[in-house]
Amino acid sequence: MKHIARKRFGQNFLIDTSIIDRIIQSINPQVNNRLVEIGPGLGALTCPLLSVAGTLDVIELDRDIIPLLKKNCADKGDLTIHNQDVLKFDFHSLHRTNEKLRIIGNLPYNISTPIIFHLVKFSSIISDMHFMLQKEVVDRLAASPGNSDYGRLSVMTQYHFNVTPLFLVPPESFEPRPKVNSAIVRLRPHEKPPITVPDEQAFSDLVKQAFSQKRKTLRNTLKNRCSIEQLEAANIKPGQRAEELTLKQFSDLSNILHQP
Ligand code: SAM
């Protein structure tokens, strides 16, 4: 049985065993971990994870690949396959008391940003996440204010998680080869949040609107949401752009606008 990679599912399979070993070492799986893999594909990461941890839940959309995945991982451990779209998957369904989820995935690059925004909703039941992503996406996740990569994805991810870029992975490590460089990143929920916001949805909406027209000043992008005085009360100059604001300035503004 041979599987032909499907572009629409973002299928670029890992074939470089030294990179696979390095990813597994970075994850450092343990026997009783509650491991969840997104997009197991043919099992490049699934098999070694299963061999160490003994049990693993995977979420895979392509039903045609599942027989091969089962065959490749046979006898490695207890594999539970959820043939579902990860963007609709309820991660609470996998959560058992006291055991937070460790999420792993060589993600389909075409939907990696929506996947991260989806996972942000489950940050309270996540212990850590290790992802292979397009290098540009890792740069955006880790970007600081003032950097051109800094945007809504950076703010919302850094609000929930510590972001640690780990190492680069070249196109030759995959079959078929992607046209872009890749990188592994670790995301770990903050033990103590760097900021607190009473209304997370309002904070998220504010950040979204602020970055909706990146080149414009906040005086313009936020004009139907807040006054110049409210911007200044959060230590923001009305002529600044969203990409210049720290997490703290976003939270101060959100707290001024949405006091409970
Ligand atoms: N883990 C394998 C590896 O490293 O070789 C495959 C990685 S491949 C980049 C992405 C995987 O995600 C594919 O198996 C693909 O079928 C699966 N996938 C794509 N879209 C998905 C979705 N919406 N939900 C769940 N899995 C998806």
> Rounded to whole angstroms, how far apart are CA atoms 146 and 142?
12
Residue nearest atom 10 of ligand 1, based on CA coordinates:
108
Q: What is the pLDDT along the chain (260 residues), one digit of tens a residue?
A: 688 999 999 999 999 999 999 999 999 999 989 999 999 999 999 999 999 999 999 999 999 999 999 999 999 999 999 999 999 999 999 998 889 999 999 999 999 999 999 999 999 999 999 999 999 999 999 999 999 999 999 999 999 999 999 999 999 999 999 999 999 999 999 988 889 898 999 999 999 999 999 889 999 999 999 999 999 999 999 999 999 999 999 999 999 998 76
Q: Please report, for residues 160, 165, 237, the alpha-carbon distance to residue 208 in angstroms, rounded to integers and kept in the order given.
A: 16, 24, 19
- Residue to substitute in 4, 6, 9, 66 for testing ligand 1 pocket (most ligand atoms within 8 angstroms of CB): 9
Neighbours of 192 (CB within 10 A): 5
**In degrees rounded to 5, what are phi and psi of residue 130?**
-125, 120
Return the residue whose CA atom lies nearest to atom 20 of ligand 1: 9
As a whole number of angstroms, the distance between CA 229 and CA 237 comes to 10
Q: What was the pLDDT predicted at 260?
A: 65
Distance from residue 212's CA to the centre of ligand 1 (Å) = 29
Q: Are 89 and 61 in contact (CB under 8 A)?
A: no
Identical fold at 11-189 and 200-257? Answer: no
Q: So where are the chain's domains?
A: 11-189, 200-257
With beta carbons less than 8 A apart as the criterion, state whether 246 and 154 touch: no
Q: Which two tokens stand for residue 173?
A: 């490590």
Rounded to 5 degrees, what angle do the CA atoms 117, 11, 5 make?
A: 160
Domain 11-189 has CATH 3.10.310.10: no
Q: Which of 18, 2, 10 is nearest to 179 (CA)?
A: 10
Edge to edge, the sheet with strand 126-134 lists 78-82, 55-59, 34-38, 101-106, 126-134, 182-189, 161-169
Fold adopted by 200-257: Helicase, Ruva Protein; domain 3 (1.10.8)
